[in-house]
């Protein structure tokens, strides 16, 4: 059951993010607002989650003690979601209205854990500064975090006392992490949740996605569109089309080499493809190209929770960049189903070919097709209770 923190001030802009992955009568939960939607939002569309209005937190005794009362409102929505839940709910997932989720991959990740026990699943930030300012031991709320029913029940029971202890903390997910820690539960980190405390072009990050199911991506309107030829909404739909055809493979990185031409290929399935005019080891290409900027310009290095590579103008090291244009399922001549992803060049590289002996130029290539065997998209029943 989802609890989505939102605001009417930004809902028009962010609604397409939520509607891109929300399935009416399949996904369940609520989007929470600070006040009832006005006429401009009504009638409420069926393709959006049901909305709820937060309780009036100004009447709570603890309200005046909070440094940031907005966070109190978000915290109370967590409890309100629990109160409206049926007993058959196994997991509660908290997230923001500028987050996109692949629900089937979320279910696959959560199915690894026993929902009858207390689990707190999420991921910390990519930004060292964000983790320092809050805590490294936290599932960040933008990326989304999941709580089992027993843990949610315990939080609801002890929330009032927890709020009194942590009025000085500055975010709702930080307070939740403190409350969970007081209950004796540590976070369990899963790499597929992406807070994206970054700015600019995050293609370098997504092109070197870890080999873990892609679950979520946050801060969609504070970064550039992830496909260079599309706007933000179009970009999300393009990525989710790939996830719909093969959610287990989307964004998973494959690295291979064509030694006769001295080329290296790095493929982020359904998203991007890079050709290097040199043979590079896999450990290097698994490091994201630093196409993005730190979340806070005042931060000092190290900026990120992972190693990166600098984008160089050296023609032997700079990749030819291609992005997914289309994806379709075909029936090949051998009678087998395949998925064909077509990647087109982003723009001319504007560099000379790699001058080393035997290294061929990839500049004439404008389009690359990748043929993948179909994998069975597991149904919920295949991956256990969730």
3-state SS assignment for residue 277: coil
DSSP 186-242: --EE-TT-----EEE--HHHHTT--SS---EE--TTTB--SSTTS-HHHHHHHHHHH
Q: What integer is the mean pLDDT of 264-278?
A: 98
**Is 148 domain-assigned?**
yes
d(CA 350, CA 73): 51
- Higher-pLDDT residue of 58 and 262 is 262
CB–CB of 239/226 below 8 Å? yes
**Is 97 domain-assigned?**
yes
Burial of 45 (0-12, 13-18, 19+ CB in 10 A): exposed
3-state percent helix, strand, coil for the chain, nearest multiple of 5: 30, 25, 50
One domain, residues 90 and 182? yes
One domain, residues 166 and 308? no
- Asked whether the predicted pLDDT for residue 381 surpasses 50, the reply is no
Q: Residue 303 sits in which domain range?
A: 250-380
Helix (H) or strand (E) holding 3: strand 2-5
One domain, residues 184 and 89? yes
3-state SS assignment for residue 96: strand
Helix (H) or strand (E) holding 370: strand 367-373
pTM above 0.85, yes or no: yes
Residue finishing a domain among 172, 189, 206: 189
d(CA 64, CA 44): 34
122-153 pLDDT per residue, tens: 999 999 999 999 999 999 999 999 999 999 99
Number of other residues whose CB lies within 10 A of the CB of residue 381: 7
Residue finishing a domain among 153, 170, 189: 189
Burial of 356 (0-12, 13-18, 19+ CB in 10 A): exposed
Q: Is omega for the bond preceding 145 within 30 degrees of 0, making it cis?
A: no
Residue finishing a domain among 189, 205, 228: 189
One domain, residues 168 and 303? no
CB–CB of 362/277 below 8 Å? yes
> Looking at 49-58, 108-117, 181-190, which range is the least confident one?
49-58
Question: How long a stretch of residues is the chain?
Answer: 386
Which pair of tokens denotes residue 328? 């379709």
84-121 pLDDT per residue, tens: 998 899 999 999 999 999 999 999 999 999 999 999 99
One domain, residues 257 and 179? no
- Asked whether the predicted pLDDT for residue 319 surpasses 80, the reply is yes
d(CA 196, CA 124): 10
**Is 205 domain-assigned?**
no
Q: What is the CATH classification number for the domain harbouring 119?
A: 3.90.550.50
How many domains are contained in the chain?
A: 2
**Is 305 domain-assigned?**
yes
One domain, residues 142 and 277? no
d(CA 238, CA 243): 9
**Is 130 domain-assigned?**
yes
- Asked whether the predicted pLDDT for residue 382 surpasses 60, the reply is no
One domain, residues 6 and 115? yes
One domain, residues 26 and 162? yes
One domain, residues 61 and 141? yes
379's CB contacts (< 8 A; 6+ apart) are none
**Is 236 domain-assigned?**
no
One domain, residues 162 and 39? yes
Pairing of β 272-276 and β 320-331: antiparallel
Over the chain, what is the mean pLDDT?
Answer: 92
Pairing of β 145-148 and β 91-96: antiparallel
Percent of the chain with pLDDT over 70: 97
One domain, residues 168 and 314? no
**Is 361 domain-assigned?**
yes
11-37 pLDDT per residue, tens: 999 999 999 999 999 999 999 999 999
**Is 207 domain-assigned?**
no
């Amino acid at each position: 059951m989802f609890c989505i923190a939102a605001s009417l001030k930004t809902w028009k802009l962010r609604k397409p993010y939520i509607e891109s992955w929300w399935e009416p009568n399949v996904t369940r939960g609520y989007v929470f607002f600070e006040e009832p939607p006005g006429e401009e939002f009504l009638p409420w569309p069926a393709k959006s989650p049901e909305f709820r209005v937060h309780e009036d937190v100004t009447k709570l005794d603890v309200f005046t003690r909070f440094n940031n009362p907005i966070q109190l409102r978000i915290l109370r929505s967590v409890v309100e979601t629990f109160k409206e839940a049926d007993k058959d709910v196994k997991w509660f997932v908290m997230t923001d209205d500028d987050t996109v989720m692949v629900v089937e991959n979320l279910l696959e990740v959560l199915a690894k854990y026993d929902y009858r026990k207390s689990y707190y699943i999420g991921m910390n930030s990519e930004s060292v500064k964000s983790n320092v300012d809050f805590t490294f031991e936290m599932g960040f709320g933008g990326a989304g975090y999941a709580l089992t029913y027993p843990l949610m029940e315990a939080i609801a029971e002890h929330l009032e006392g927890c709020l009194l202890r942590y009025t000085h903390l500055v975010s709702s997910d930080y307070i939740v992490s403190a409350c969970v820690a007081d209950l004796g539960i540590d976070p369990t980190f899963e790499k597929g949740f992406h807070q994206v405390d970054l700015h600019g072009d995050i293609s370098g990050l997504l092109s070197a996605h870890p080999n873990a199911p892609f679950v979520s991506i946050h801060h969609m309107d504070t970064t550039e569109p992830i496909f260079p030829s599309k706007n933000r909404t179009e970009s999300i739909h393009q990525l989710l089309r790939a996830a719909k055809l093969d959610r287990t493979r989307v964004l998973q990185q494959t690295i291979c080499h064509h030694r006769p031409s001295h080329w290296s290929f790095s493929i982020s399935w359904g998203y991007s493809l890079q050709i290097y005019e040199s043979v590079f080891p896999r450990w290097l290409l698994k490091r994201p190209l630093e196409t993005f900027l730190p979340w806070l310009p005042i931060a000092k290095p190290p900026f990120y929770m992972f190693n990166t590579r600098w984008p160089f103008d050296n023609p032997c090291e700079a990749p030819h960049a291609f992005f997914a244009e289309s994806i379709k399922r075909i029936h090949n001549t051998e009678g087998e189903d395949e998925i064909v992803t077509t990647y087109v060049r982003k723009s001319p590289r504007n560099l000379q070919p790699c001058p080393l002996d035997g290294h061929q130029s990839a500049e004439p290539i404008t389009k690359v097709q990748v043929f993948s065997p179909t994998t069975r998209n597991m149904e919920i029943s295949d991956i256990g209770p969730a």
